Amino acid sequence: MESIIRLYAKWIREGKLPVNSDWNKDLGVTFTVQDPCQLVRKSLRDPVAEDLRFVVKSVVGEENFIDMWPNKSNNYCCGGGGGFLQSGFAEERRAYGKVKLEQILRTKADYCIAPCHNCHSQIHDLSEHYEAGFPVVHLWTLICLSLGILGENEREYLGEDLKNVGL
């Protein structure tokens, strides 16, 4: 069993994935990252959270990364896990997610990276429902953006500011 997050980090360290943050030097778009409970607290703990940060910083630039607090193994669940998204308790799920929403908003980051499907669905919904207006992106989108190989139809979750970068 392996997480692709660890492989991204390994491939970047080995030079197989030549990402860099030049695309964001002048733009200065800021990012925070969600530590998925399943990946971090429940499975691979802080070392994978460190790998995740290494990947994110390599791709968006260290100066453009803003961590949430608390984070890593101590991070709050977004409210998308455990079947919550499918359970029919939408009102409760969004109330639960307010903790996460406020945590993200406190970073003042432009984007939230969610490297987990449940987290992505939930945080995307929170941003829309509470009209917070921040885009929620998968990690693979940013890796390909950084590499200049992100196609036109692969930008669904990017905000207007990044829709045309590298096209």
For other proteins, give the closer residue by CB, 13 or 108.
13
Q: Is 166 near other proteins (CB under 8 A)? A: no
Nearest partner of 150 among 136, 131, 164, judged by Cα:
164
Q: Residues 6 or more apart from 153 whose CB is under 8 A from it?
A: none
Q: Is 164 near other proteins (CB under 8 A)? A: no
In the numeric block, which tokens belong to residue 67? Answer: 């961590």
Q: Using CB under 8 A, which of the segments 23-31, 55-63, 141-149, 158-166 binds other proteins?
A: 141-149
26 contacts 165 by C-beta, under 8 angstroms: no
For other proteins, give the closer residue by CB, 43 or 62.
43
Residues 49 and 33: their CA atoms lie apart, in Å, by: 10
* Least CB distance to other proteins at residue 18 (A): 9
* Least CB distance to other proteins at residue 78 (A): 9
x/- map, 34-73, other proteins, by CB under 8 A: --xxxx-xx------------------------------x
In the numeric block, which tokens belong to residue 154? Answer: 């692969």
Nearest partner of 147 among 52, 20, 25, 26, judged by Cα:
20
Residue among 92, 108, 161, 166 that touches other proteins (CB under 8 A): 92
Residues 99 and 110: their CA atoms lie apart, in Å, by: 18
For other proteins, give the closer residue by CB, 25 or 149.
149
Nearest partner of 104 among 91, 95, 94, 113, judged by Cα:
113
User: How many other C-beta atoms can be found within 10 angstroms of the C-beta atom of residue 2?
Assistant: 8
Which residues of the shown chain bind other proteins in the complex (CB under 8 A)? 1-5, 7-8, 11, 16-17, 36-39, 41-42, 73-77, 79-84, 86-89, 92-93, 95-100, 115-117, 121, 138, 140-141, 143-144, 147, 149-151, 153-154, 156
